[in-house]
Homo-oligomer: A and B are copies of this chain.
Amino acid sequence: MTNPTDFNLWSHDICNSVASFLDQHLPSAQLPPQRLHEAMRYATLQGGKRVRPLLCFAAGELSQAPASSLTVVACSVELIHAYSLVHDDLPAMDNDVLRRGKPTCHIQFGEAVAILTGDVLQTQAFEWLSDPSFFPNQPERQLELVHQLSYASGAQGMAGGQALDLESTQQPVSLAQIKSMHFKKTGALIRASLLMGAACGDPLPVEQQRALCDFAEALGLAFQVVDDCLDAEMDTATLGKTAGKDAAANKATTVGIMGLSKAKGFAQELHAAARQALAVLGPRAARLEDLTHFIINRRS
């Protein structure tokens, strides 16, 4: 691990680059349709931990990827994440009123605008990734990035996981089913952040590519297990979103099926598995190691 000050500076710089790119390239709230543009900015520029952009940049260190490409990729992944939050918070889905300590998008702008906002945030991600001016003379790389992100976000990935989550409230589910849901709902986009970040640089040797996939799998699941634990034990003010809602909504979670203490142990096991995969990746994986520590030990 690098020292904490160094890690904080590194992540602070990336969060600034991401916010600055989003601010500069999202449509202006002065231009029509103003409310839609305003809502797109509201859903993406109100903070958030920027975990996926950080993962993208950290994986980019493995392949010595240029920051210019990583910024576009990180912002595109962040748009997909933001769209999923806007839609998941809708009354027909998780019906939540609070996100990052602020009113959710539909509370602030109304449901119709919130639905459209999620829709166009998704579209904007693919528009950026396919914009040749952001990746001069690299059509094959861009195409691969579009394909990775679309696969990770769709019916076989993030949105499919959300559908499984909805179904899970209506029937008893096994740990294997919860894992499969988490792999899709959270894991797919985390995996894509890592693989897309690495894909912005030199090709990785096959054994490193495989280790990165193993790492992604362990980290994606760990992220969601920690999320389950935080929802069960933290208060709303600390989380910046409604706490205890998994149990209230009868959601299938690792805490629900194995209890809080065992779920915490499971997160530690996954942390160990993630570190084991990182060992194969050598010294360039230092940022990924820091980030893993940060994700496992976060308090919100």
Contacts and interface: CB of A to CB of B under 8 A. Distances in A.
Contacts of A118: 119
A123 B150 contact: yes
B87 A160 contact: no
A123 to B, nearest CB: 4
A155 to B, nearest CB: 4
For this chain, the copies found in one complex come to: 2
A122 to B, nearest CB: 6
A96 to B, nearest CB: 13
Contact of A92 (B83, B111, B127, B162): B111
B122 A119 contact: yes
B154 A127 contact: yes
A159 interface: yes
A33 B160 CA distance: 6
A115 B93 contact: yes
A166 B113 contact: yes
Interface bracket on A: 35 or more
Nearest to A33: B163
Given A147-B127, A155-B37, A163 B116 contact: yes
Interface in A125-153: 126-127, 129-132, 139-140, 142-143, 146-147, 150-151, 153
Q: Which of A140, A143, A164 has the most CB of B within 10 A?
A: A143
Contact of A130 (B147, B160, B162, B164): B147
Nearest to A95: B112
Given A27-B156, A36-B155, A160-B33, A147 B131 contact: yes
A150 B126 contact: yes
A179 to B, nearest CB: 13
Contacts of A143: 130, 132, 139, 142-143, 146
A124 interface: yes
A269 interface: no
Contacts of A278: none
Interface in A25-46: 27, 32-33, 35-37, 40
A156 B28 CA distance: 11
A120 B160 contact: yes
Contacts of A113: 163, 166
Contacts of A140: 139
A83 B87 CA distance: 14
A55 B36 CA distance: 29
A85 to B, nearest CB: 12
Contacts of A27: 155-156
Smallest CB-CB A-B distances: 7 pairs = A92-B111, A123-B154, A33-B163, A127-B150, A36-B163, A130-B147, A130-B146
22 contacts: A33-B167, A36-B155, A36-B160, A87-B115, A92-B111, A92-B112, A112-B166, A119-B159, A120-B154, A122-B122, A122-B123, A123-B159, A124-B150, A126-B126, A127-B150, A127-B154, A130-B150, A132-B143, A139-B139, A139-B140, A142-B143, A143-B146
